[in-house]
Chain A
């Protein structure tokens, strides 16, 4: 016998004893709300990306040399091994301020990521690399200006604030979502790797490298088994990540 009155009493008494989080966490901060909006944008953009991918692939070869989309600001890395260039050519992006260099395919460029702002107090720098043309970006921005675009690579530098790579991964969503984790090395530095689904068809992949008091994060979102714009694949992104040289 399980009288409902007693069930209600038990439920109220016991559930009311469950601990609450500190009150400062009750309402999401602006950053959380913004990121939630980003998620919506991500889902919308995924649809746009699929459409754009189909359109762009057909005209990619002909336009590649003609457009001004290759205007990447790059500089050769001094005294550092030059990794193998991808797809027959490459650019090297170098950040002296944050001590890294990374090889991107010749037809990639740096996309202005100021749309995200710097509301994250630990964020020191964020660079976004994309295979999309500025025109394609304008189409995406018409859908949503503050989107995180699948198939783009983000390199972020944060103040580590004493937190380990695994903490950063959990903060990013690993652990709350079913998550694959592992370890690898990037430029001979140990890196913590995590992947988790952000939508039923899109996965976040992130690499966390502790650099003294800083945390270097490389992240990208892909649709497993599919292809991004201009023939970008997971392998392309893995190769770019693997090319990083840490000073």
Chain B
């Protein structure tokens, strides 16, 4: 059944906290995360996903793609700019967290897939479908990422 605009906004709000935090972990930047999620919201308004199952995964991947493109025209309300506590605050926060340190050594693409699996709970097949790649590519990317994270754990201990 098609998702109308009202239902879309309702579902988006429900998923916002999880997807926004996932984006923060991947992008390490509040503005990029919020802009990217806004882009995903607008994309869903124009062409909503076929069904509302796994909406978090859909929003996450659309947002990650949008962030990669980095295509924006002026959009931020000024109070948002003024209200920020500093460019590096999320970076610093993540650096103090175990997750942040594990993810820091990964590429953005590896981070996106790792967060999709371990935080959003998507399996390899779902990640492959969302990112538009083969399951084998997901498996290989995640294997490389886990190897790097294991190395990070070994170094830390």
Contacts and interface: CB of A to CB of B under 8 A. Distances in A.
A33 interface: yes
B106 interface: no
Nearest to A13: B99
B4 interface: no
Interface stretch (A96-104, A129-137, A162-170, A183-191): A162-170
Nearest to A162: B82
Contacts of B16: 20, 26
A11 B21 contact: no
Contacts of B146: 2
A8 B75 contact: no
A21 B21 contact: no
Contact of A14 (B30, B90, B98): B98
Contacts of B34: 21, 25
Taking each of B71, B74, B153, which has the highest tally of chain A beta carbons within 10 Å of its own beta carbon? B74
A172 B74 contact: yes
Nearest to B70: A177
B73 A11 contact: no
B78 interface: yes
A173 B74 contact: yes
A32 B38 contact: yes
Contacts of B20: 20-21, 26
Given A11-B119, A18-B21, A171 B98 contact: no
B99 A10 contact: yes
Contacts, number: 127
B78 A161 contact: yes
B37 to A, nearest CB: 8
B16 to A, nearest CB: 5
B18 to A, nearest CB: 8
Interface of B is mostly: helix
Contacts of B150: 1-2
A1 B157 CA distance: 11
Given A15-B115, A27-B13, A28-B38, A35 B73 contact: yes
A11 B99 contact: yes
Taking each of A4, A32, A171, which has the highest tally of chain B beta carbons within 10 Å of its own beta carbon? A32
11 contacts: A10-B99, A12-B119, A15-B24, A15-B119, A27-B13, A36-B73, A36-B75, A167-B78, A170-B76, A197-B70, A199-B71
Interface of B: 9, 12-13, 16-17, 20-22, 24-25, 29-32, 34-35, 38-39, 41-42, 45, 70-78, 80-82, 87, 90, 93, 97-100, 102, 115, 118-119, 121, 146, 149-150, 153
Given A20-B20, A25-B77, A27-B12, 18 more contacts: A1-B150, A10-B98, A15-B119, A17-B97, A20-B17, A21-B34, A26-B20, A35-B75, A36-B38, A36-B73, A39-B73, A167-B78, A168-B78, A171-B81, A175-B87, A176-B31, A178-B70, A204-B73
